[in-house]
Chain A
Amino acid sequence: MNAPSPHSDVLLSAQHLSVRFGGLLAVNDVSFDVRRGEVFTLIGPNGAGKTTVFNLISRIYQPTSGQILYHPGQGAPLVLTGQPAHRVAGLGIARTFQNIELFEHASVLHNLLIGRHTRRETGLWADMFFTPRVRAAEMRAREKAEQVIDFLDLQHYRDQLVAGLPYGVRKVVELARALCTEPQLLLLDEPSSGLNVEETDDMAFWIQDIRDELGITVLMVEHDMSLVSKVSDRVLAMNQGEVLAMGTPHAVQTDPGVAEAYLGSVDDVSSLRRSAPPAKAAA
């Protein structure tokens, strides 16, 4: 899978991405294609470079080499790595953050409305005089936000300040805010981290709904393997910045290289053994 060929069903294609932070090669020659309408998951132990790949796609980092192509519609692909960071959302790529980056001192509804920013229809002067056009645009923005609130069952929290919400709800609000941008590609950075079992199940349903009902392609980083196998169509395993394996969740989970990355190799374990194995174990 090192030389991805641009298919018409490919939405995003990362080609030979490398990032170097000083002496550390955080991502080393990573290539993958995300197909339209699938849930594509990046897994790997801590420090594997998953979040770095996310930050490359959302243009927070600049790759040392390689490029990312984005095919939002028909026609020539767009070189995402040549776009400024604030353009990414407008191109239809929304993201959430691992440790939740919400606008704390605003209500849930306000957070979602900020998600509508790329769809704003009015400029500074119209805003200042709050012309009828601004009023109509505001109504439409609220309508859209309300649809997302309805989709994710956030009605109860609509007017509450984010600063006072429990962690699990914040996670959903962040997802809602990303959906408000009406994305084609949704980047979820560890959607289940910090959630309890029940909330993780809800998240799994929502991710499936987002793909099936809204037709949004999902690219996520996730550690919870039960969630990964439940919702992912394809999985990419990374370790130390390199691609280990790619394929269906089951194939990747049973890949010997992946098990080794998580658990260490047989040699590693044997080195931990005492020099003389106990007699009982030998017998």
Chain B
Amino acid sequence: MRFIFKTSYAQDIRLAKHAGHRFWYGLLCLGLLAAPWLLPEYWLAQLTFVLIYGVVGLGLMLLAGFTGQFSLGHAAFLGVGAYTQAVLTTMGWPFALALACAALLSAAVGVVVGLPALRVKGIYLGMATLAFGFIVEEVFARWESVTAGNAGMYVPPPQVAGYAFESANAFYLLCLAITVLATLAVLNLLRAPTGRAFVAIRDSEVSAQSMGIHLARYKTLSFALSAALAGVGGALYAHKLQFISPDQFSILQSIDLLLMVVIGGLGSVHGAFLGAAFLISMPQLISLGKDWLPDAIGQAPGLQAVVYGVVLVAFVLFEPMGLYGRWLKVRTWLELFPFYRKGMFKRQKSFQKSDRLK
């Protein structure tokens, strides 16, 4: 068990709290940097997808995990980012400028979607964002002069300062850089007043308001930031697939994204990436498992959806804190061995919330 002896405020503010953090995250960064030379092409592509989904997951985590606003239409932001990037780079815009536009446009759309969030909560917000997702998917399909409709459109490789990121290795490194920057930005926000205001809104709106937090402004801000990150993820997604069509941004994609943050662990930045790794590796695991199953099950259509559903239900029932929560338990078990008690992570019964202010 590690006890941190605190002697300065700077120690509390620092991102890496102790030498262990520095060592392991340094090692992770080195490993990720070396990946293009270590991994075969197929696995590198999967890792690129993990990074891309990680960025989108960061956005959704900020919204759902830290501000407590659920969005069932997040694929729409992904789509706005992807199409903006596709259209602009086809027109010959440089990568960075197109990416900024993709993020800004997604953020603007996020603000529009955030407006109902000021009035509706919980399941009703879910329905509003779900409807929004359908509308945007329909726009992608019908606005043929821009999006080429259901036929889909090709996306040229990104161009940065005259250098085309055509090889998978180069594109992977580009994604890695953007992911690291996005993660740092989110971590910075969370340790600053803005992030604390989000957490306050998640835990108690009435109390956040009485602490002087402008609910409307921060909820809208959270939607905008979340959508911007989804837009950046979408832009990278478009470059990676090199082809986009409206059905990639359907309700199923939205549910996958939500699944990702819930399974990863709501309310933790790690969760976004663990969830992304889960989402990308699951189809592989399922196809591996198919050979072991009887044909009637293994070859049945919709097997993946069933497995996802079962896994989600299992997590909600048995590990509501997600993969990251499970990891925390394993880590505590290892640290305290052999003194770990079963009830250590049991949530105490929460006290009755104020019922006069409903």
Residues of A within 8 A of B (CB): 51, 55, 58, 60, 85-90, 94-95, 97-106, 109-110, 113-118, 120, 122, 124, 126-130, 134-135, 137-139, 141-143, 163-164, 167, 170, 177, 181
Contact = CB atoms under 8 A, between A and B. Distances in A.
B221 interface: yes
Interface residues of B, number: 41
B14 to A, nearest CB: 10
A101 B267 contact: no
A117 B192 contact: no
Nearest to A58: B210
A118 B211 contact: yes
A167 B351 contact: yes
B13 A139 contact: yes
Contacts of A114: 196-197, 199-200, 208, 211, 213
B17 to A, nearest CB: 11
B194 interface: yes
B214 interface: yes
Given A89-B211, A115-B211, 9 more contacts: A60-B209, A97-B207, A99-B352, A101-B207, A102-B203, A114-B200, A122-B193, A128-B185, A138-B191
Nearest to A110: B196
Contact of A139 (B9, B191, B348): B9
Nearest to B200: A114
B9 A120 contact: no
Given A55-B357, A115-B211, A124 B200 contact: no
A13 to B, nearest CB: 21
Contact of B207 (A102, A110, A127, A143): A102
Contacts of B354: 97-101
A170 B350 CA distance: 11
Interface centre among B9, B195, B199, B210 (most CB of A within 10 A): B210
Contacts of B193: 113, 116-117, 120, 122, 127, 137, 141
B347 interface: yes
A130 B191 contact: yes
Contact of A86 (B191, B209, B350): B209
B119 interface: no
B90 interface: no
A108 B251 CA distance: 39
B212 A86 contact: yes
19 contacts: A60-B209, A86-B209, A86-B212, A94-B210, A95-B210, A97-B210, A97-B357, A101-B204, A101-B353, A113-B196, A114-B208, A117-B213, A120-B193, A124-B194, A128-B192, A128-B194, A129-B188, A130-B192, A163-B348
